[in-house]
């Protein structure tokens, strides 16, 4: 196999082959014959979670929409489709998904497998929209888990790639909606002490960005539902001032790749991601980390990070703070608690990032911070395991789908078993 790397280029897969089936039967036959396998999505994860010493399989040739069921309010897709592709289809049919991540280029299966999220204090992560998944398990058999029908279904939606290859997903859909995106500049960290919930409940999706170079968050991104009363017609938002030109989350960079701002209304799929689908970054000169803390302790956690800023800020492009509703999905970082994600987009300073992550993690330890599965972290396996009370149930589910451990890799062995 030619050298294959992840999107950021910081990780080189060690697999011997990469298979791209066109039909589920081909996939089933191939899976049954291999010893070590891992499914690969759009390669946007930053660590070794998608790697295997054996064979990689990509479903990029299996990316069709299979069925739109208006009565049940669902859409069924093949396992290789990306959010951007499905979003255009749904919008053309007057439907939407409840939420999207910051970029639309990622696959639905890969994003859900790692608990990927957008923002919104009432919005669960993207996997909460999964009604059912079809998984090709180690024998080659396709097994379906449906929310509410089997108790283990709650373990199958954020699957970390450990159960098999997700070949089909059925997702909840909602009627299409419009969003207008408004940005404000320079909100003081101190405003969040008494107004954290006010700020995060003030729009359908809210993100704060900071480079931690001052006591202010550089930007507030409010993605407001058109039709809801607009409380932000004012020029001020908790002391922040309305942005009068489009902004990129990283100060000083052109806003051209960003989704439309300045309050211009538009369809959900062109406003919920921060970046446009037609802007296709080939490779990212960046690394990422993210930690999830209980929403009730988010301000204290942010203050703690602020005190460390001199040590990590030189290596940072920007940090983003988002809100994610609690969910019942066993391996989800927002399992059973309303959460706030504190995200770091790092410059490609690998060694420095490795040095500062333990400092950040030590500071966040009192808040039981769970790291994003697909991003960089340094946490000791025993500590990480202790943060997931359903881990042993997940192990049992994985063993029933994959008794031989075909879908295990060193990442999963380290953090789950
Ligand atoms: C620029 C950028 C922006 C990002 N923005 C966000 C964001 O806003 N919010 C957020 O939470 N995260 C974000 N991420 C992280 C990203 O969502 C995750 O890395 C996600 O896993 C990417 O999906 P993927 O298709 O690239 O998966 P991959 O990296 O290819 O794989 C990730 C995992 O999914 C598994 N997997 C993939 N496909 C399948 C399948 N068909 N069946 C079974 N398992 C499968 C793999 O085995 C692996 O375990 C971002 C990453 C980047 C690079």
Q: Is residue 386 part of a domain?
A: no
Any atom of ligand 1 within 6 Å of the Cβ of 343: no
Query: Do 135 and 224 fall within a single domain?
Result: no
pLDDT digits (tens, 9 = 90+) for 76-100: 999 999 999 999 999 999 999 999 9
Structure tokens at 199: 């700020």
Across residues 344-359, what is the average pLDDT? Answer: 96
Tokens 């040590």 appear where?
Answer: 311
Q: Is residue 395 part of a domain?
A: no
Q: Is residue 3 part of a domain?
A: no
In this structure, the residue with its CA closest to atom 48 of ligand 1 is 50
What number does the ligand 1 atom closest to the CA of 80 have?
41
Query: Do 218 and 306 fall within a single domain?
Result: yes
Any atom of ligand 1 within 6 Å of the Cβ of 57: no
Q: How far is the CA of 214 from the centre of ligand 1 (A)?
A: 31
Best mutation site among 374, 377, 411, 414 for ligand 1, i.e. most ligand atoms within 8 A of its Cβ? 374
Q: How far is the CA of 324 from the centre of ligand 1 (A)?
A: 17
Query: Do 376 and 256 fall within a single domain?
Result: yes
Q: Is residue 406 part of a domain?
A: no
CATH of residue 243's domain is: 3.30.70.2520
Q: Is residue 106 part of a domain?
A: yes
Q: Is residue 392 part of a domain?
A: no
Going by C-alpha positions, the residue among 309, 289, 321, 308 that lies closest to residue 191 is 321
Q: What percent of the chain has pLDDT over 70?
A: 97
pLDDT digits (tens, 9 = 90+) for 256-300: 999 999 989 999 999 999 988 777 655 578 999 999 999 999 999
* Residue partners of 113: CB distance under 8 A and separation at least 6: 39, 41, 127, 158, 159, 160, 161, 166
Quick one: CA dihedral 287, 293, 299, 302, positive or negative? negative
Q: How far is the CA of 334 from the centre of ligand 1 (A)?
A: 16
Residue 76 and residue 169: Cα distance in Å, rounded? 6
Q: Is residue 144 part of a domain?
A: yes
In this structure, the residue with its CA closest to atom 37 of ligand 1 is 110
Any atom of ligand 1 within 6 Å of the Cβ of 43: yes
Any atom of ligand 1 within 6 Å of the Cβ of 41: yes
CATH of residue 164's domain is: 3.30.465.10
Query: Do 73 and 168 fall within a single domain?
Result: yes
Query: Do 189 and 144 fall within a single domain?
Result: no
Query: Do 126 and 155 fall within a single domain?
Result: yes
Query: Do 324 and 193 fall within a single domain?
Result: yes
* pLDDT at position 37 over 90: yes
Domain end among 136, 152, 176: 176
Q: How far is the CA of 188 from the centre of ligand 1 (A)?
A: 32
Query: Do 103 and 137 fall within a single domain?
Result: yes
CATH of residue 38's domain is: 3.30.43.10
* Residue partners of 119: CB distance under 8 A and separation at least 6: 99, 205, 206, 207, 223, 322, 323, 324, 341
Any atom of ligand 1 within 6 Å of the Cβ of 54: no
Query: Do 293 and 219 fall within a single domain?
Result: yes
In this structure, the residue with its CA closest to atom 20 of ligand 1 is 111
Tokens 């639309």 appear where?
Answer: 104
pLDDT digits (tens, 9 = 90+) for 94-127: 999 999 999 899 999 999 999 999 999 999 999 9
Residue 308 and residue 329: Cα distance in Å, rounded? 32
Domain end among 176, 195, 212: 176
**Is the CB of residue 288 less than 8 Å from the CB of residue 375?**
yes
Measure CA 325 to chain center: 13
Average pLDDT, the chain: 95
Q: Is 144 in a helix, a strand, or coil?
A: strand
CA 63, 67, 71 angle in degrees (round to 5)? 150
More confident residue, 231 or 214: 214
pLDDT of amino acid 279: 75
Query: Do 142 and 289 fall within a single domain?
Result: no
Instruction: Identify the domain containing residue 211 by its residue range.
Output: 179-273+283-380
Q: How far is the CA of 113 from the centre of ligand 1 (A)?
A: 7
Any atom of ligand 1 within 6 Å of the Cβ of 128: no
Query: Do 312 and 261 fall within a single domain?
Result: yes
At 231, the pLDDT band (50, 70, 90 cuts) reads low
Residue 54 and residue 40: Cα distance in Å, rounded? 13
Any atom of ligand 1 within 6 Å of the Cβ of 10: no
Best mutation site among 40, 276, 329, 341 for ligand 1, i.e. most ligand atoms within 8 A of its Cβ? 40
Going by C-alpha positions, the residue among 208, 170, 179, 178 that lies closest to residue 191 is 208
In this structure, the residue with its CA closest to atom 27 of ligand 1 is 110
pLDDT of amino acid 346: 96
Number of domains in the chain: 3
Across residues 314-321, what is the average pLDDT? Answer: 96
Structure tokens at 51: 């790697």
Any atom of ligand 1 within 6 Å of the Cβ of 161: yes
Residue-wise burial string across 384-409, b where 16 or more C-beta atoms lie within 10 A, e elsewhere: beeebebbebbeebbeebbeebbbbb
Q: Is residue 338 part of a domain?
A: yes
Any atom of ligand 1 within 6 Å of the Cβ of 216: no
Any atom of ligand 1 within 6 Å of the Cβ of 297: no
Query: Do 232 and 243 fall within a single domain?
Result: yes
């Amino acid at each position: 196999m030619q050298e294959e790397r992840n999107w950021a280029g910081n990780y080189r897969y060690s697999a011997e082959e990469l298979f791209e089936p066109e039909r589920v039967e081909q996939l089933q036959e191939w899976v049954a014959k291999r010893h070590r396998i891992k499914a690969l999505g759009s390669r946007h994860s930053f660590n070794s979670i998608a790697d295997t010493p054996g064979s990689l399989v990509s479903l990029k040739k299996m990316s069709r929409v299979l069925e739109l069921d208006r009565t049940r309010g669902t859409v069924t897709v093949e396992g290789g489709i990306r959010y951007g592709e499905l979003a255009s289809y749904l919008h053309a049919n007057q439907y939407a998904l409840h939420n999207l991540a910051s970029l639309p280029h990622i696959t639905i299966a890969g994003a859900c497998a790692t608990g990927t999220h957008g923002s919104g204090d009432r919005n669960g992560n993207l996997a909460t929209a999964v009604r059912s998944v079809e998984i090709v398990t180690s024998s080659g058999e396709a097994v379906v888990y449906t929310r509410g029908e089997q108790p283990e279904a709650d373990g199958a939606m954020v699957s970390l790639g450990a159960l098999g290859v997700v070949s089909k997903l059925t997702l909840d859909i909602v009627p299409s909606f419009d969003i207008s995106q408004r940005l404000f500049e320079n909100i003081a960290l101190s405003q969040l002490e008494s107004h954290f919930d006010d700020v995060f409940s003030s729009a359908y999706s809210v993100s704060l960005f900071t480079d931690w170079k001052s006591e202010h968050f550089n930007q507030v991104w409010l993605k407001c539902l058109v039709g809801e009363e607009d409380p932000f017609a004012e020029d001020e938002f908790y002391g922040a001032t309305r942005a009068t030109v489009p902004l990129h989350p990283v100060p000083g960079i052109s806003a051209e790749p960003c989704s439309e701002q300045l309050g211009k209304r538009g369809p959900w799929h062109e406003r919920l991601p921060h970046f446009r689908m037609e802007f296709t970054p080939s490779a990212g000169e960046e690394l990422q980390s993210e930690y999830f803390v209980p929403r009730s302790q988010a301000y204290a956690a942010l203050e703690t990070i602020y005190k460390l800023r001199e040590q990590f800020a030189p290596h940072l492009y920007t940090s983003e703070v988002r809100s994610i509703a609690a969910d019942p999905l066993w391996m989800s970082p927002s399992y059973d608690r309303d959460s706030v994600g504190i995200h770091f987009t790092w410059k490609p300073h690998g060694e420095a990032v490795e040095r500062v992550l333990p400092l950040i993690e030590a500071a966040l330890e009192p808040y039981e911070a769970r790291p994003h599965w697909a991003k960089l972290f340094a946490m000791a396996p025993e500590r990480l395991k202790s943060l997931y009370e359903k881990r042993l149930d997940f192990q049992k589910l994985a063993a029933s789908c994959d008794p031989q451990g075909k879908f295990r890799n060193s990442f999963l062995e380290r953090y789950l078993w």
